[in-house]
Structure 1
């Protein structure tokens, strides 16, 4: 049968995104939790050359490493006007004709070779009363035996003109800023569409515990942002995940937003692009990312249960995640470049009561160390006063040294600061009329969830003023 083996974990944001997409399109899959199955972890590492990358999805014996929704759609034949499965063979002329027609008209289809899969050949024979006729094409579970292009055109509505919706506002990013902007825009009786390349929640989704958001003594990032998303949907907002924005272009009074999943039109745009984790830029870092070097404790910490790890950084994120990792890791070594931590006093005070955390101050990270097999072994550090170096050995490292704004896709459209953040004036207005910015991607923003919600409100007021 048409099988999908899904290796992932419940805490993994990309796993949640991919699972949601498959479920939305009524596609069955077998989910294997790598945290509970050591053989599954070993298989994931074997597929990804030693790296523990999830989700790893195997579709009919072919592995896909963290496929985005566009790849899943293309591989599994998911379209807005129906799922298409083409059973055939490469030597079959009519199969080639049907494949070419679908490709020319940008229709996704899953190609299943009857020569390679006995179950596929059997299904074709059962469908065609014992005859092995190819191509046999299933469109939303309805079988069509060797349909000509005219039939495909009619069934899939190829070339039929449809009215294209123009949204009042497209919000790029479903973090706290984007979700809040959507809530306020919807309450002002404007319609909004949120496009998110990964999962709802942004960086807040990766936070195991939030203790400084008003109204909650403590709440997890996923729980808080999910509540925001539910509220936005209650007011009528539409949210699409797995959508990467490639370009934004202003044409007359509207904006064309080009993505990996097609093109969208809007009267205004709110850029809530968020940020990604900064790297050290030292030897062996790139080679070991995902195979000993990580940037999210919530995502990858479970791989290091009862093992020793290094945390690099001295701010709130480093100490917060270090405390979190200490709950299940054997030992946590925190390496800080400064002579003092820059984190808030609350986090600093927590360190003194945790026995399995050790700190190294005034140490610069110089190089990641590999073992004889090319795997992660440790970190070489240099004392910034004496210049002496030493090697710290561990099973893995987590880096928390700041954020970089996700503004590459709009750098030729919007005015950016020297650091790459979006510059704004007044009500979150950019230098392009009708485009607004909010959250971690904006120059001067405070990388806190509470601050991000405030920026979302500000951007929504900018949208309101624009329409007025």
Structure 2
């Protein structure tokens, strides 16, 4: 549980101050009197390099020596609006987004890593009916499961920022395409604002290892995306996360962008909307998403350390993520509906050497299986040659069967093809003059980071020509 141990003495003024502050804010703590407990005295001296400094407060195993009330507020999430506790993990993009928004708005919050404390992971599952969904926040006495920034803004009564500035270009999406477009637009001395619904880096941020980006034989997706974002900021770009664009309209020479965080205006727009993972559409899939079924090994793989998982798919993403999971899972079973993998030979050639990977080819996924308690149990598959069915048991499953473009917000204003991708001409021009598209959301795009950066450059030239 969330433990606070206060080592002090009744005669100590700062101990009385710290105790009173914790009580005023209804925070439970264990008081240990160092005058009555020799072991406590030794512990305080050990923490403070031989000095008997009190109060010494230990919060979830981390010591704080005579913290003033502002420090206690910061580490325990004490605010005028109520106490804020965020359960999350460092590898979780939405946790980073929520943490960033709270920090940007000077909201104190206590951060508790679910990977570090079993009790924290259990609490998250208890709140979310057995699902491991993070971030889960407590604001006052109420819990919020992965709240977006608009919900945090409302619940915490965060003031509205001015959106009156007119940017030369607003880029929707902070993946490789959007970040690259911003870098080039800023270098041309135009102002740019990047609006991102979730995490900086898009799908590339969720990739543990990238081996085909020029200049790097190997680099992690988060590190590469972080470098791109830093470069965009160095040139003057502004990045706002947690902003979900609802619609884009044109009024004369200006574009009006309506979002969950307010309205924005610009003289041009780059749509780098990216894509989301495709689902199988089979029984029990929706019920088990987040509670056994996942779409990102980098995000959720850590929950399955030393356990058995199923990976569904046969392309680059399926094999790449399967190999990544095999690094710490007990067993990885890869199920592919085709008779052969469609991934590049580089990944296929690695499979035989990885002893804890088992492959099932030409197998159709029929349904996910629940146990008697409604928890994930496995996957029912059918051999497409013989027609025989079997159950593959595991602790969880990861689905990698393709992508769907994130173009719902622009379907009424921008021309899309029958699959929902944005149609473009020339320098990424869309059907609306002054709006350009780049990356996975564009018709004919190659879903690779290197290709996305090239498309970002192309769109930036379109923006430059339009503005000039």
1:297 and 2:293 aligned: no
> Which runs of 4 or more aligned residues in structure 1 lie more than 2 Å from their structure 2 counterparts after TM superposition?
none
1:71-106: per-residue Cα shift (whole Å, max 9, x none)? Answer: 11111111146xxxxxxxxxxxxxxxxxxxxxxxxx
Q: Which residue of 2 aligns with 1:186?
A: 186
1:215 and 2:215 aligned: yes
1:364 and 2:343 aligned: no
1:397 and 2:397 aligned: yes
| C-alpha displacement of 1:163 | 8.7
Q: How does 1:46-445 map to 2 (within 5 A)?
A: 46-80=126-160, 164-445=164-445
Distance in 2 (alpha carbons) for counterparts of 1:462 and 1:66: 36
| C-alpha displacement of 1:263 | 0.2
1:331-357: per-residue Cα shift (whole Å, max 9, x none)? Answer: 000001111111111101111110000
Distance in 2 (alpha carbons) for counterparts of 1:238 and 1:30: 27
- Contact 2:439-2:447 at 8 Å conserved across structures: yes
- Contact 2:163-2:264 at 8 Å conserved across structures: no
Distance in 2 (alpha carbons) for counterparts of 1:329 and 1:29: 33
Secondary structure of the residue that 1:309 maps to in structure 2? strand
Distance 1:340 1:163, change over 3 A: closer
Distance in 2 (alpha carbons) for counterparts of 1:321 and 1:386: 29
Q: Which residue of 1 aligns with 2:123?
A: 43
| C-alpha displacement of 1:367 | 0.5
Distance in 1 (alpha carbons) for counterparts of 2:84 and 2:204: 30
Distance in 1 (alpha carbons) for counterparts of 2:164 and 2:393: 58
Distance in 2 (alpha carbons) for counterparts of 1:431 and 1:362: 41
| C-alpha displacement of 1:164 | 2.1
| C-alpha displacement of 1:12 | 0.2
| C-alpha displacement of 1:396 | 0.4
Distance in 2 (alpha carbons) for counterparts of 1:299 and 1:164: 36
Structure 2 segments unaligned to the other structure (5+ residues): 1-24, 26-81
- TM-score (normalised: structure 2): 0.82
Secondary structure of the residue that 1:380 maps to in structure 2? strand
1:22 and 2:102 aligned: yes
- Contact 2:163-2:262 at 8 Å conserved across structures: no
- Contact 2:163-2:263 at 8 Å conserved across structures: no
Distance in 2 (alpha carbons) for counterparts of 1:165 and 1:392: 56
Secondary structure of the residue that 2:247 maps to in structure 1? strand
Q: Which residue of 2 aligns with 1:137?
A: none
| C-alpha displacement of 1:234 | 0.8
1:452 and 2:452 aligned: yes
- TM-score (normalised: structure 1): 0.82
Distance in 2 (alpha carbons) for counterparts of 1:379 and 1:207: 25
Q: Which residue of 1 aligns with 2:72?
A: none
Q: Which residue of 1 aligns with 2:18?
A: none
1:212-262: per-residue Cα shift (whole Å, max 9, x none)? Answer: 111111111111011111111111111101100011111111110000110
Distance in 1 (alpha carbons) for counterparts of 2:145 and 2:164: 33
Q: Which residue of 2 aligns with 1:34?
A: 114
Secondary structure of the residue that 1:352 maps to in structure 2? helix
Structure 1 segments unaligned to the other structure (5+ residues): 82-161
1:10 and 2:78 aligned: no
Number of residue pairs matched by the alignment? 388
Distance in 1 (alpha carbons) for counterparts of 2:300 and 2:163: 44
Secondary structure of the residue that 2:421 maps to in structure 1? coil
- Contact 2:267-2:467 at 8 Å conserved across structures: no
| C-alpha displacement of 1:34 | 0.7
Distance in 2 (alpha carbons) for counterparts of 1:415 and 1:454: 22
1:392-414: per-residue Cα shift (whole Å, max 9, x none)? Answer: 00000000000000000110111
Q: Which residue of 1 aligns with 2:462?
A: 462
Distance in 2 (alpha carbons) for counterparts of 1:436 and 1:74: 33
1:434-459: per-residue Cα shift (whole Å, max 9, x none)? Answer: 10000000010000100000000000
1:119-174: per-residue Cα shift (whole Å, max 9, x none)? Answer: xxxxxxxxxxxxxxxxxxxxxxxxxxxxxxxxxxxxxxxxxxx8921111000000
Secondary structure of the residue that 1:306 maps to in structure 2? coil
Distance in 2 (alpha carbons) for counterparts of 1:198 and 1:56: 15
